[in-house]
Protein backbone atom coordinates (compact mmCIF):
# COMPACT_ATOMS: atom_id res chain seq x y z
CA UNK A 1 0.00 0.00 0.00
CA UNK A 2 1.33 3.44 -0.92
CA UNK A 3 1.65 5.90 1.94
CA UNK A 4 -0.43 9.07 1.88
CA UNK A 5 1.35 12.12 0.37
CA UNK A 6 2.69 14.81 2.69
CA UNK A 7 0.43 17.84 3.04
CA UNK A 8 1.80 21.40 2.73
CA UNK A 9 1.06 24.05 5.37
CA UNK A 10 -2.73 23.92 5.48
CA UNK A 11 -3.38 27.58 6.32
CA UNK A 12 -0.88 28.92 3.79
CA UNK A 13 -2.27 26.68 1.02
CA UNK A 14 -5.85 27.70 1.86
CA UNK A 15 -4.96 31.40 1.68
CA UNK A 16 -3.18 30.92 -1.65
CA UNK A 17 -6.15 29.03 -3.15
CA UNK A 18 -8.59 31.63 -1.85
CA UNK A 19 -6.72 34.51 -3.50
CA UNK A 20 -5.93 32.83 -6.83
CA UNK A 21 -9.21 30.98 -7.35
CA UNK A 22 -11.23 34.09 -6.51
CA UNK A 23 -8.98 36.58 -8.29
CA UNK A 24 -11.76 37.84 -10.57
CA UNK A 25 -14.20 38.53 -7.74
CA UNK A 26 -11.66 39.59 -5.13
CA UNK A 27 -9.24 41.67 -7.21
CA UNK A 28 -10.20 42.27 -10.86
CA UNK A 29 -13.82 43.38 -10.38
CA UNK A 30 -13.14 45.72 -7.41
CA UNK A 31 -10.14 47.22 -9.23
CA UNK A 32 -12.21 47.85 -12.38
CA UNK A 33 -15.01 49.37 -10.31
CA UNK A 34 -12.55 51.72 -8.57
CA UNK A 35 -11.10 52.89 -11.91
CA UNK A 36 -14.60 53.59 -13.31
CA UNK A 37 -15.70 55.46 -10.18
CA UNK A 38 -12.53 57.56 -10.16
CA UNK A 39 -13.02 58.47 -13.82
CA UNK A 40 -16.68 59.38 -13.16
CA UNK A 41 -15.64 61.55 -10.20
CA UNK A 42 -13.10 63.39 -12.38
CA UNK A 43 -15.66 64.09 -15.11
CA UNK A 44 -18.43 65.25 -12.79
CA UNK A 45 -22.21 64.73 -13.15
CA UNK A 46 -22.74 67.39 -15.83
CA UNK A 47 -20.04 65.99 -18.11
CA UNK A 48 -21.38 62.46 -17.66
CA UNK A 49 -24.93 63.52 -18.62
CA UNK A 50 -23.59 65.39 -21.66
CA UNK A 51 -21.71 62.32 -22.87
CA UNK A 52 -24.70 60.02 -22.32
CA UNK A 53 -26.97 62.36 -24.30
CA UNK A 54 -24.36 62.36 -27.05
CA UNK A 55 -24.67 58.60 -27.53
CA UNK A 56 -26.70 57.62 -30.57
CA UNK A 57 -29.66 55.27 -30.25
CA UNK A 58 -27.91 52.67 -32.39
CA UNK A 59 -25.07 52.51 -29.87
CA UNK A 60 -27.48 51.91 -27.01
CA UNK A 61 -29.30 49.28 -29.05
CA UNK A 62 -26.09 47.42 -29.86
CA UNK A 63 -24.91 47.65 -26.24
CA UNK A 64 -27.98 45.70 -25.10
CA UNK A 65 -28.78 43.58 -28.16
CA UNK A 66 -25.37 42.08 -28.90
CA UNK A 67 -24.77 40.57 -25.40
CA UNK A 68 -28.36 39.28 -25.32
CA UNK A 69 -28.04 37.75 -28.80
CA UNK A 70 -24.71 36.14 -27.92
CA UNK A 71 -26.09 34.56 -24.74
CA UNK A 72 -29.21 33.32 -26.59
CA UNK A 73 -27.11 31.77 -29.37
CA UNK A 74 -24.87 30.03 -26.83
CA UNK A 75 -27.84 28.58 -24.94
CA UNK A 76 -29.49 27.32 -28.14
CA UNK A 77 -26.39 25.76 -29.69
CA UNK A 78 -24.62 24.29 -26.67
CA UNK A 79 -24.82 20.48 -26.26
CA UNK A 80 -27.51 19.19 -23.94
CA UNK A 81 -26.44 18.20 -20.48
CA UNK A 82 -26.47 14.46 -19.85
CA UNK A 83 -27.44 13.12 -16.44
CA UNK A 84 -27.06 9.86 -14.54
CA UNK A 85 -30.53 8.93 -13.33
CA UNK A 86 -29.34 5.87 -11.41
CA UNK A 87 -27.31 2.67 -11.73
CA UNK A 88 -27.35 -0.90 -10.44
CA UNK A 89 -24.55 -3.44 -9.94
CA UNK A 90 -25.05 -7.19 -9.98
CA UNK A 91 -24.25 -9.19 -6.87
CA UNK A 92 -24.00 -12.75 -8.25
CA UNK A 93 -25.73 -15.72 -6.63
CA UNK A 94 -24.12 -17.30 -3.53
CA UNK A 95 -23.33 -20.51 -5.43
CA UNK A 96 -20.91 -18.49 -7.59
CA UNK A 97 -18.79 -17.40 -4.64
CA UNK A 98 -15.20 -18.63 -4.65
CA UNK A 99 -12.89 -18.33 -1.65
CA UNK A 100 -9.11 -18.12 -1.88
CA UNK A 101 -8.87 -21.62 -0.43
CA UNK A 102 -11.26 -23.24 -2.89
CA UNK A 103 -9.66 -21.41 -5.82
CA UNK A 104 -6.23 -22.69 -4.76
CA UNK A 105 -7.49 -26.24 -4.21
CA UNK A 106 -9.15 -26.33 -7.62
CA UNK A 107 -5.98 -24.98 -9.22
CA UNK A 108 -3.96 -27.73 -7.56
CA UNK A 109 -6.06 -30.34 -9.38
CA UNK A 110 -5.82 -28.72 -12.83
CA UNK A 111 -3.71 -30.90 -15.15
CA UNK A 112 -2.12 -27.93 -16.90
CA UNK A 113 -0.91 -26.35 -13.63
CA UNK A 114 2.11 -28.40 -12.73
CA UNK A 115 4.93 -27.59 -10.34
CA UNK A 116 6.23 -24.08 -10.96
CA UNK A 117 3.06 -22.80 -12.63
CA UNK A 118 0.92 -23.76 -9.65
CA UNK A 119 3.32 -22.04 -7.23
CA UNK A 120 3.37 -18.99 -9.50
CA UNK A 121 -0.45 -18.83 -9.57
CA UNK A 122 -0.81 -19.14 -5.79
CA UNK A 123 1.90 -16.52 -5.21
CA UNK A 124 0.11 -14.07 -7.54
CA UNK A 125 -3.19 -14.81 -5.80
CA UNK A 126 -1.68 -13.98 -2.41
CA UNK A 127 -0.36 -10.68 -3.79
CA UNK A 128 -3.54 -9.80 -5.71
CA UNK A 129 -5.51 -8.01 -3.00
CA UNK A 130 -8.58 -10.20 -3.59
CA UNK A 131 -10.64 -11.53 -0.68
CA UNK A 132 -12.74 -14.63 -0.02
CA UNK A 133 -16.06 -13.36 -1.39
CA UNK A 134 -15.43 -12.86 -5.10
CA UNK A 135 -17.52 -14.67 -7.73
CA UNK A 136 -16.88 -16.99 -10.66
CA UNK A 137 -19.44 -18.66 -12.91
CA UNK A 138 -20.22 -22.29 -11.87
CA UNK A 139 -18.65 -23.53 -15.11
CA UNK A 140 -15.26 -22.48 -13.69
CA UNK A 141 -15.85 -24.38 -10.44
CA UNK A 142 -15.64 -27.71 -12.29
CA UNK A 143 -12.41 -29.68 -12.69
CA UNK A 144 -11.52 -29.17 -15.44
CA UNK A 145 -13.58 -26.02 -16.20
CA UNK A 146 -16.54 -26.46 -18.59
CA UNK A 147 -15.91 -23.51 -20.90
CA UNK A 148 -18.29 -23.36 -23.86
CA UNK A 149 -20.46 -20.93 -25.78
CA UNK A 150 -23.57 -21.98 -23.84
CA UNK A 151 -21.84 -21.49 -20.47
CA UNK A 152 -20.56 -18.07 -21.52
CA UNK A 153 -24.04 -17.07 -22.67
CA UNK A 154 -25.45 -18.24 -19.33
CA UNK A 155 -22.90 -16.18 -17.39
CA UNK A 156 -23.60 -13.06 -19.45
CA UNK A 157 -27.35 -13.42 -19.07
CA UNK A 158 -27.12 -14.02 -15.32
CA UNK A 159 -25.24 -10.83 -14.51
CA UNK A 160 -26.80 -8.60 -17.19
CA UNK A 161 -30.40 -9.50 -16.45
CA UNK A 162 -29.84 -9.16 -12.70
CA UNK A 163 -28.36 -5.65 -13.11
CA UNK A 164 -30.99 -4.42 -15.59
CA UNK A 165 -33.87 -5.88 -13.53
CA UNK A 166 -32.61 -4.02 -10.47
CA UNK A 167 -32.11 -0.79 -12.41
CA UNK A 168 -35.68 -0.83 -13.76
CA UNK A 169 -36.98 -1.61 -10.27
CA UNK A 170 -34.97 1.26 -8.71
CA UNK A 171 -35.93 3.88 -11.28
CA UNK A 172 -39.49 2.69 -12.07
CA UNK A 173 -38.60 3.19 -15.76
CA UNK A 174 -40.36 1.03 -18.31
CA UNK A 175 -38.56 -0.66 -21.20
CA UNK A 176 -40.60 1.37 -23.69
CA UNK A 177 -38.90 4.61 -22.61
CA UNK A 178 -35.40 3.40 -23.59
CA UNK A 179 -34.38 5.12 -26.85
CA UNK A 180 -30.68 4.16 -26.78
CA UNK A 181 -28.92 0.96 -25.72
CA UNK A 182 -25.12 0.64 -25.45
CA UNK A 183 -23.49 -2.59 -24.27
CA UNK A 184 -19.85 -3.53 -23.88
CA UNK A 185 -17.98 -6.80 -23.34
CA UNK A 186 -14.51 -7.45 -24.70
CA UNK A 187 -14.17 -11.22 -25.01
CA UNK A 188 -17.72 -12.53 -25.50
CA UNK A 189 -19.37 -11.40 -28.73
CA UNK A 190 -22.22 -13.78 -29.57
CA UNK A 191 -24.54 -13.65 -32.54
CA UNK A 192 -27.11 -12.11 -32.14
CA UNK A 193 -25.20 -9.44 -30.26
CA UNK A 194 -25.35 -8.75 -26.54
CA UNK A 195 -27.45 -5.66 -27.27
CA UNK A 196 -29.93 -7.86 -29.16
CA UNK A 197 -30.10 -10.23 -26.17
CA UNK A 198 -31.26 -7.31 -23.99
CA UNK A 199 -33.72 -6.05 -26.62
CA UNK A 200 -35.26 -9.53 -26.85
CA UNK A 201 -35.43 -10.05 -23.09
CA UNK A 202 -37.04 -6.70 -22.25
CA UNK A 203 -38.94 -6.16 -25.51
CA UNK A 204 -37.41 -2.76 -26.14
CA UNK A 205 -38.71 -0.42 -28.84
CA UNK A 206 -38.25 -1.54 -32.43
CA UNK A 207 -36.57 1.78 -33.21
CA UNK A 208 -34.11 1.64 -30.30
CA UNK A 209 -30.60 2.74 -31.29
CA UNK A 210 -28.45 -0.17 -30.13
CA UNK A 211 -24.66 -0.40 -30.16
CA UNK A 212 -22.34 -3.14 -28.87
CA UNK A 213 -18.70 -2.31 -28.10
CA UNK A 214 -16.15 -5.15 -28.08
CA UNK A 215 -12.39 -5.53 -27.71
CA UNK A 216 -11.97 -2.27 -25.76
CA UNK A 217 -10.92 -3.87 -22.49
CA UNK A 218 -11.66 -2.64 -19.00
CA UNK A 219 -11.99 1.02 -20.03
CA UNK A 220 -15.00 0.30 -22.25
CA UNK A 221 -17.44 1.45 -19.56
CA UNK A 222 -16.37 5.08 -20.00
CA UNK A 223 -16.42 4.67 -23.80
CA UNK A 224 -20.00 3.37 -23.58
CA UNK A 225 -21.01 6.40 -21.52
CA UNK A 226 -19.51 8.72 -24.14
CA UNK A 227 -21.27 6.89 -27.00
CA UNK A 228 -24.59 7.12 -25.15
CA UNK A 229 -23.99 10.81 -24.44
CA UNK A 230 -23.36 11.54 -28.11
CA UNK A 231 -26.45 9.62 -29.21
CA UNK A 232 -28.58 11.44 -26.65
CA UNK A 233 -27.73 14.74 -28.34
CA UNK A 234 -29.74 13.62 -31.38
CA UNK A 235 -32.57 11.92 -29.46
CA UNK A 236 -35.80 13.61 -28.35
CA UNK A 237 -35.45 15.80 -25.26
CA UNK A 238 -35.76 13.81 -22.06
CA UNK A 239 -34.87 10.52 -23.80
CA UNK A 240 -33.34 7.67 -21.79
CA UNK A 241 -30.21 5.66 -22.61
CA UNK A 242 -29.36 2.29 -21.07
CA UNK A 243 -25.66 1.40 -20.72
CA UNK A 244 -24.67 -2.14 -19.71
CA UNK A 245 -21.06 -3.07 -18.91
CA UNK A 246 -19.74 -6.57 -18.21
CA UNK A 247 -17.07 -9.15 -18.99
CA UNK A 248 -17.41 -12.91 -19.39
CA UNK A 249 -14.79 -14.76 -17.36
CA UNK A 250 -15.62 -18.27 -18.61
CA UNK A 251 -14.55 -17.40 -22.16
CA UNK A 252 -11.15 -15.98 -21.23
CA UNK A 253 -10.16 -18.98 -19.08
CA UNK A 254 -6.68 -20.08 -20.13
CA UNK A 255 -5.57 -23.71 -19.93
CA UNK A 256 -1.98 -23.39 -21.09
CA UNK A 257 1.42 -22.99 -19.43
CA UNK A 258 2.38 -19.39 -20.28
CA UNK A 259 2.60 -17.58 -16.94
CA UNK A 260 1.80 -14.15 -18.36
CA UNK A 261 -1.46 -15.59 -19.68
CA UNK A 262 -2.36 -17.17 -16.33
CA UNK A 263 -2.65 -13.78 -14.60
CA UNK A 264 -6.20 -12.91 -15.83
CA UNK A 265 -7.53 -16.01 -14.04
CA UNK A 266 -6.16 -14.61 -10.77
CA UNK A 267 -7.72 -11.14 -11.12
CA UNK A 268 -10.90 -11.30 -13.21
CA UNK A 269 -14.21 -12.07 -11.59
CA UNK A 270 -17.93 -12.11 -12.41
CA UNK A 271 -19.95 -8.87 -12.41
CA UNK A 272 -21.99 -6.33 -14.40
CA UNK A 273 -23.45 -2.85 -14.09
CA UNK A 274 -26.50 -1.22 -15.70
CA UNK A 275 -26.64 2.58 -15.97
CA UNK A 276 -29.55 4.84 -16.92
CA UNK A 277 -28.63 8.14 -18.58
CA UNK A 278 -30.99 10.91 -19.66
CA UNK A 279 -31.10 14.51 -20.88
CA UNK A 280 -33.75 15.20 -18.26
CA UNK A 281 -32.52 16.55 -14.93
CA UNK A 282 -35.67 15.43 -13.12
CA UNK A 283 -34.99 12.53 -10.73
CA UNK A 284 -31.33 12.40 -11.84
CA UNK A 285 -28.53 12.17 -9.29
CA UNK A 286 -25.35 13.10 -11.22
CA UNK A 287 -24.47 15.33 -14.15
CA UNK A 288 -21.80 14.23 -16.63
CA UNK A 289 -19.37 17.15 -16.89
CA UNK A 290 -16.39 15.76 -18.82
CA UNK A 291 -15.22 12.68 -20.76
CA UNK A 292 -11.56 12.46 -21.84
CA UNK A 293 -10.13 9.50 -23.76
CA UNK A 294 -6.45 8.74 -24.36
CA UNK A 295 -5.26 6.02 -26.78
CA UNK A 296 -1.62 4.98 -27.26
CA UNK A 297 -2.12 2.08 -29.68
CA UNK A 298 0.24 3.73 -32.19
CA UNK A 299 3.12 2.56 -29.97
CA UNK A 300 3.87 -1.17 -30.30
CA UNK A 301 4.81 -1.51 -26.63
CA UNK A 302 1.47 -0.11 -25.52
CA UNK A 303 -0.48 -1.97 -28.20
CA UNK A 304 0.78 -5.38 -27.10
CA UNK A 305 0.75 -4.97 -23.30
CA UNK A 306 -2.68 -6.71 -23.03
CA UNK A 307 -2.95 -8.96 -26.06
CA UNK A 308 -5.27 -11.88 -26.81
CA UNK A 309 -3.34 -14.58 -28.66
CA UNK A 310 -2.48 -18.26 -28.87
CA UNK A 311 0.51 -19.64 -27.01
CA UNK A 312 3.08 -22.05 -28.50
CA UNK A 313 0.68 -24.97 -27.87
CA UNK A 314 -2.30 -23.30 -29.55
CA UNK A 315 -4.12 -22.40 -26.31
CA UNK A 316 -5.89 -19.01 -26.45
CA UNK A 317 -5.56 -16.48 -23.65
CA UNK A 318 -4.84 -12.86 -22.80
CA UNK A 319 -1.13 -12.10 -22.46
CA UNK A 320 -0.45 -9.40 -19.87
CA UNK A 321 2.95 -7.86 -20.55
CA UNK A 322 5.43 -6.99 -17.81
CA UNK A 323 5.26 -3.43 -19.19
CA UNK A 324 1.57 -3.12 -18.30
CA UNK A 325 1.94 -1.00 -15.16
CA UNK A 326 4.57 1.27 -16.76
CA UNK A 327 2.41 1.77 -19.86
CA UNK A 328 -0.62 2.49 -17.68
CA UNK A 329 1.35 5.17 -15.85
CA UNK A 330 2.48 6.83 -19.08
CA UNK A 331 -1.01 6.77 -20.55
CA UNK A 332 -2.44 8.18 -17.32
CA UNK A 333 -0.02 11.13 -17.48
CA UNK A 334 -1.22 11.98 -20.98
CA UNK A 335 -4.84 11.71 -19.85
CA UNK A 336 -4.45 13.89 -16.75
CA UNK A 337 -2.86 16.70 -18.79
CA UNK A 338 -6.12 17.05 -20.71
CA UNK A 339 -8.53 16.35 -17.85
CA UNK A 340 -6.53 18.67 -15.59
CA UNK A 341 -7.01 21.61 -17.95
CA UNK A 342 -10.77 21.07 -17.64
CA UNK A 343 -11.27 20.45 -13.93
CA UNK A 344 -8.35 21.91 -11.96
CA UNK A 345 -8.80 25.29 -10.24
CA UNK A 346 -6.59 28.24 -11.34
CA UNK A 347 -4.38 27.87 -8.23
CA UNK A 348 -3.21 24.39 -9.32
CA UNK A 349 -2.82 25.39 -12.98
CA UNK A 350 -0.67 28.36 -11.94
CA UNK A 351 1.65 26.23 -9.79
CA UNK A 352 2.04 23.73 -12.62
CA UNK A 353 2.78 26.50 -15.16
CA UNK A 354 5.34 28.14 -12.86
CA UNK A 355 7.13 24.81 -12.31
CA UNK A 356 7.31 24.30 -16.09
CA UNK A 357 8.75 27.79 -16.63
CA UNK A 358 11.27 27.33 -13.82
CA UNK A 359 12.33 23.98 -15.24
CA UNK A 360 13.03 25.50 -18.66
CA UNK A 361 14.65 28.75 -17.48
CA UNK A 362 16.86 27.53 -14.65
CA UNK A 363 19.88 25.40 -15.43
CA UNK A 364 19.41 22.96 -12.56
CA UNK A 365 16.78 20.27 -12.83
CA UNK A 366 13.51 21.13 -11.12
CA UNK A 367 10.82 18.55 -10.57
CA UNK A 368 7.52 19.35 -12.24
CA UNK A 369 4.74 20.19 -9.81
CA UNK A 370 2.12 17.44 -9.65
CA UNK A 371 -1.32 19.10 -9.43
CA UNK A 372 -3.44 18.17 -6.44
CA UNK A 373 -6.57 16.70 -8.04
CA UNK A 374 -8.18 16.59 -4.61
CA UNK A 375 -8.83 20.32 -5.04
CA UNK A 376 -10.98 19.51 -8.10
CA UNK A 377 -12.63 16.18 -7.21
CA UNK A 378 -13.82 14.90 -3.87
CA UNK A 379 -14.08 11.22 -4.85
CA UNK A 380 -11.99 8.90 -7.04
CA UNK A 381 -12.99 5.68 -8.78
CA UNK A 382 -9.74 4.16 -10.07
CA UNK A 383 -10.26 0.98 -12.06
CA UNK A 384 -9.68 -2.02 -9.80
CA UNK A 385 -7.45 -3.68 -12.38
CA UNK A 386 -5.01 -5.01 -9.80
CA UNK A 387 -3.05 -4.00 -6.76
CA UNK A 388 -0.08 -2.71 -8.77
CA UNK A 389 -2.30 -0.54 -10.99
CA UNK A 390 -4.01 1.10 -8.00
CA UNK A 391 -0.62 1.70 -6.35
CA UNK A 392 0.72 3.33 -9.52
CA UNK A 393 -2.26 5.68 -9.86
CA UNK A 394 -2.15 6.60 -6.17
CA UNK A 395 1.53 7.46 -6.44
CA UNK A 396 1.17 9.39 -9.72
CA UNK A 397 -1.75 11.51 -8.51
CA UNK A 398 -0.51 11.84 -4.90
CA UNK A 399 -3.77 10.45 -3.56
CA UNK A 400 -4.36 9.45 0.04
CA UNK A 401 -5.24 5.94 1.18
CA UNK A 402 -8.81 7.13 1.75
CA UNK A 403 -9.01 8.40 -1.85
CA UNK A 404 -8.24 4.95 -3.28
CA UNK A 405 -10.13 3.05 -0.60
CA UNK A 406 -13.13 2.40 -2.92
CA UNK A 407 -10.81 0.82 -5.51
CA UNK A 408 -8.93 -1.40 -3.05
CA UNK A 409 -12.10 -2.54 -1.30
CA UNK A 410 -13.84 -3.27 -4.63
CA UNK A 411 -10.86 -5.37 -5.71
CA UNK A 412 -11.00 -7.21 -2.38
CA UNK A 413 -14.76 -7.83 -2.37
CA UNK A 414 -15.53 -8.38 -6.08
CA UNK A 415 -12.17 -8.72 -7.86
CA UNK A 416 -11.53 -7.12 -11.24
CA UNK A 417 -14.98 -7.03 -12.85
CA UNK A 418 -13.51 -5.23 -15.87
CA UNK A 419 -15.49 -2.26 -17.23
CA UNK A 420 -18.15 -2.49 -14.51
CA UNK A 421 -15.69 -2.06 -11.62
CA UNK A 422 -16.00 1.75 -11.63
CA UNK A 423 -19.69 1.46 -10.77
CA UNK A 424 -18.99 -0.94 -7.89
CA UNK A 425 -16.57 1.69 -6.58
CA UNK A 426 -19.14 4.48 -6.85
CA UNK A 427 -21.59 2.18 -5.06
CA UNK A 428 -19.02 1.78 -2.25
CA UNK A 429 -18.68 5.56 -1.88
CA UNK A 430 -22.44 5.94 -1.70
CA UNK A 431 -22.87 2.99 0.67
CA UNK A 432 -20.49 4.84 2.99
CA UNK A 433 -22.71 7.97 2.55
CA UNK A 434 -19.78 10.11 1.44
CA UNK A 435 -21.33 11.95 -1.50
CA UNK A 436 -22.84 15.42 -1.03
CA UNK A 437 -24.53 17.78 -3.45
CA UNK A 438 -21.86 19.56 -5.50
CA UNK A 439 -19.22 16.83 -5.04
CA UNK A 440 -17.34 15.70 -8.11
CA UNK A 441 -16.44 12.08 -8.84
CA UNK A 442 -13.56 11.22 -11.17
CA UNK A 443 -13.71 7.78 -12.82
CA UNK A 444 -10.44 6.52 -14.34
CA UNK A 445 -10.52 3.37 -16.47
CA UNK A 446 -7.67 1.48 -18.17
CA UNK A 447 -7.98 -0.95 -21.07
CA UNK A 448 -6.18 -2.83 -23.80
CA UNK A 449 -4.86 -0.85 -26.70
CA UNK A 450 -3.60 0.84 -24.46
CA UNK A 451 -6.27 3.24 -23.20
CA UNK A 452 -6.88 5.52 -20.26
CA UNK A 453 -10.38 7.01 -20.20
CA UNK A 454 -11.81 9.45 -17.68
CA UNK A 455 -15.31 10.62 -16.79
CA UNK A 456 -16.15 13.33 -14.27
CA UNK A 457 -19.58 13.47 -12.62
CA UNK A 458 -21.09 16.20 -10.47
CA UNK A 459 -23.48 15.12 -7.72
CA UNK A 460 -26.75 17.05 -7.98
CA UNK A 461 -28.74 14.91 -5.57
CA UNK A 462 -27.51 12.57 -2.86
CA UNK A 463 -28.93 9.08 -2.60
CA UNK A 464 -32.13 9.60 -0.67
CA UNK A 465 -33.33 6.09 0.05
CA UNK A 466 -31.72 3.09 1.65
CA UNK A 467 -32.91 0.53 -0.89
CA UNK A 468 -30.87 -2.64 -1.27
CA UNK A 469 -31.99 -3.08 -4.90
CA UNK A 470 -28.94 -3.05 -7.15
CA UNK A 471 -26.73 -2.22 -4.16
CA UNK A 472 -23.80 -4.68 -4.30
CA UNK A 473 -22.47 -3.69 -0.85
CA UNK A 474 -25.76 -4.10 1.02
CA UNK A 475 -24.66 -7.30 2.77
CA UNK A 476 -21.04 -6.39 3.45
CA UNK A 477 -20.47 -2.62 3.73
CA UNK A 478 -20.37 -2.85 7.53
CA UNK A 479 -17.25 -5.04 7.21
CA UNK A 480 -15.31 -2.47 5.19
CA UNK A 481 -12.72 -1.08 4.97
CA UNK A 482 -10.58 -4.09 5.78
CA UNK A 483 -6.85 -4.17 6.29
CA UNK A 484 -5.03 -5.63 3.29
CA UNK A 485 -1.58 -6.87 4.37
CA UNK A 486 1.43 -5.52 2.53
CA UNK A 487 3.43 -7.91 0.38
CA UNK A 488 7.14 -7.94 -0.32
pLDDT of residue 11 exceeding 70: no
Final residue in a domain of this structure, among 78, 94, 116? 78
* pLDDT one-digit tens code per residue, 437-446: 999 999 999 9
Reported as type and span, the H/E element at residue 102 is helix 100-108
Confirm whether 22 is domain-assigned.
Answer: no
Give bridge partners of residue 308 from the DSSP assignment.
Answer: 318
Confirm whether 287 is domain-assigned.
Answer: yes
How many Å apart are CA 84 and CA 311, to the nearest integer?
42
The whole-chain average pLDDT of the chain stands at 88
Confirm whether 309 is domain-assigned.
Answer: yes
How far does CA 218 lie from the centroid of its chain? 10
SS (H, E, C) the chain: CCCCCCCCCHHHHHHHHHHHHCHHHHHHHHHHHHHHHHHHHHHHHHHHHHHHHHCCHHHHHHHHHHHHHHHHHHHHHCCCCEEEEEEEECCCCHHHEECHHHHHHHHHCCCCCCCHHHHHHHHHHHHCCCCCCEECCHHHCCCCCCCCHHHHHHHHHHHHHHHHHHHHHHHCCCHHHEEEEEEECCCCCCCCCHHHHHHHHHCCCCCCEEEEECCCHHHHHHHHHHHHHHHHCCCCCCCEEEEEEECCHHHCCCCCCCHHHHHHHHHECCCEEEEEEECCCCCCCEEEEEEEEEECCCCHHHHCCEEEEECCCCCEEEEECCCHHHHHHHHHHHHHHHHHHHHCCHHHHHHHHHHHHHHHHCCCCCCCCCCCHHHCCCEEEECCCCHHHHHHHHHHHCCCCCCCHHHHHHHHHHCECHHHHHHHHHHHHHHCCCCCCCCEEEEEEEECCCEEEEEEEEECCCCCCCCCCCCCCCCCHHHCCCCCCCCC
* pLDDT one-digit tens code per residue, 351-385: 888 888 887 777 667 777 888 999 999 999 999 99
More confident residue, 184 or 33: 184
Confirm whether 11 is domain-assigned.
Answer: no
Predicted pLDDT at 368: 78
How many Å apart are CA 404 and CA 421, to the nearest integer?
13
pLDDT of residue 76 exceeding 70: no
Residues 259 and 396 in one domain: yes
Residues 68 and 211 in one domain: no
Structural domain range at position 194: 82-479
Residues 196-214: what's their mean pLDDT?
96
Predicted pLDDT at 28: 63
Residues 471 and 351 in one domain: yes
Residues 166 and 65 in one domain: no
Residues 426 and 462 in one domain: yes
What SS3 state is found at 315?
Answer: coil
Confirm whether 16 is domain-assigned.
Answer: no
- 153-170 as b/e: b if 16+ CB within 10 A: bebbebbbbbbbbbbbeb
* pLDDT one-digit tens code per residue, 149-160: 999 999 999 999
* pLDDT one-digit tens code per residue, 82-133: 999 999 999 999 999 999 999 999 888 888 888 788 899 999 998 999 999 9
How many Å apart are CA 100 and CA 130, to the nearest integer?
8
How far does CA 54 lie from the centroid of its chain? 59
pLDDT of residue 229 exceeding 80: yes
Q: Which residues, at least 6 apart from 226, have a Cβ–Cβ distance to it below 8 Å?
A: 291, 293, 453, 455
Q: What is the dihedral of CA 188, 192, 197, 199, to 10 degrees?
A: 140
Looking at 77-86, 223-232, 287-296, which range is the least confident one?
Answer: 77-86
Residues 378 and 443 in one domain: yes
* pLDDT one-digit tens code per residue, 209-224: 999 999 999 999 999 9
CB-facing half-sphere around the CA of 356: CA atoms within 13 A: 9
Strand 178-184 and strand 240-246: the pairing is parallel
Give bridge partners of residue 294 from the DSSP assignment.
Answer: 452
How many Å apart are CA 51 and CA 42, to the nearest integer?
14
pLDDT of residue 420 exceeding 70: yes
Residues 206 and 94 in one domain: yes
Residues 209 and 196 in one domain: yes
- 445-484 as b/e: b if 16+ CB within 10 A: bbbbbbbbbbbbbbbbeebeeeeeebbbbeebbeebeeeb
Final residue in a domain of this structure, among 78, 113, 139? 78
Residues 258 and 355 in one domain: yes
Residues 275 and 423 in one domain: yes
Confirm whether 9 is domain-assigned.
Answer: no
CATH number of the structural domain spanning residue 155: 3.40.47.10
Number of domains in the chain: 2
Final residue in a domain of this structure, among 21, 46, 78? 78
CB-CB contact of 131 with 212 (8 Å): no
Confirm whether 474 is domain-assigned.
Answer: yes
Residues 211 and 351 in one domain: yes
Rg of the chain's alpha carbons, rounded to an integer? 26
Confirm whether 24 is domain-assigned.
Answer: no
* pLDDT one-digit tens code per residue, 50-69: 766 666 666 666 667 777 77
* pLDDT one-digit tens code per residue, 304-332: 999 999 998 898 899 998 899 899 999 99
Predicted pLDDT at 335: 94
Give bridge partners of residue 210 from the DSSP assignment.
Answer: 181
Residues 204 and 321 in one domain: yes
Amino acid sequence: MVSSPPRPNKHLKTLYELVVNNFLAAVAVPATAIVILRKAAQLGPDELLTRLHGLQQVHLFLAFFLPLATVTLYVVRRPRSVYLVDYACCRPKPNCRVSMGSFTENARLMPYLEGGNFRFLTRMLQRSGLGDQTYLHPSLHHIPPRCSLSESRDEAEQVIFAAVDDLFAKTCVSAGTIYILVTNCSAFNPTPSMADIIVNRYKLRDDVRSVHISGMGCSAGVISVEVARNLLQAAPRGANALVVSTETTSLINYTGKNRAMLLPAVLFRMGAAAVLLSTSRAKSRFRLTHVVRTLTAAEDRAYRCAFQEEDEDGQTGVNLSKDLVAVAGETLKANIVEIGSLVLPPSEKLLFALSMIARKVLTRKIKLYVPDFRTACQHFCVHAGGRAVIDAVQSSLRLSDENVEPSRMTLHRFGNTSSSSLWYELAYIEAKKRTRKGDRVWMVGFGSGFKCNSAVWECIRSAGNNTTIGAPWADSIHQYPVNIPAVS
